[in-house]
Amino acid sequence: MVKTLPSNISQSRLATDRLIDFREVGQLVGFRCKTSHTARSLAERGQIRAVYINDRTIRYSENSVLDLVAGRVAPAGPVAPAAKIAAIIATT
């Protein structure tokens, strides 16, 4: 399932964005959750960006979570272009 990159995300910001798991999302948002339901719900509502690594593995954009915490939420859909994922992982 490959999704396209939303037009409101700059290439330079994406290059510096770190992928985090649902536990880190919970820590940044202030939730104490042992499951991925909260992060998935935030992603489904467009409040944070989800990156689908494969059918079972989802990571979330750290920048989008920080924007949510800071109150700068711009609704965006999930992102999963394989080339972008590889570029992000290679830079970290």
Name the average pLDDT for the chain.
Answer: 77
pLDDT at 2: 45
Name the token pair of 26.
Answer: 């919970």
pTM, rounded to two decimals: 0.63
Burial 25-62 (b: 16+ CB within 10 A, else e): bbebbeeeeeebeebbebbeebbbbbbbeeeeebbbbb
Is the model's pLDDT at 44 over the cut of 80?
yes
Amino acid at 9: I
Is 46 part of any domain? yes
Q: Which domain holds residue 28?
A: 11-91
Is 84 part of any domain? yes
Outline where DSSP puts E strands in 1-92: 19-20, 50-52, 58-61
Is 5 part of any domain? no
Domain count, the chain: 1
User: pLDDT over 70 for what percent of the chain?
Assistant: 63
Is 65 part of any domain? yes
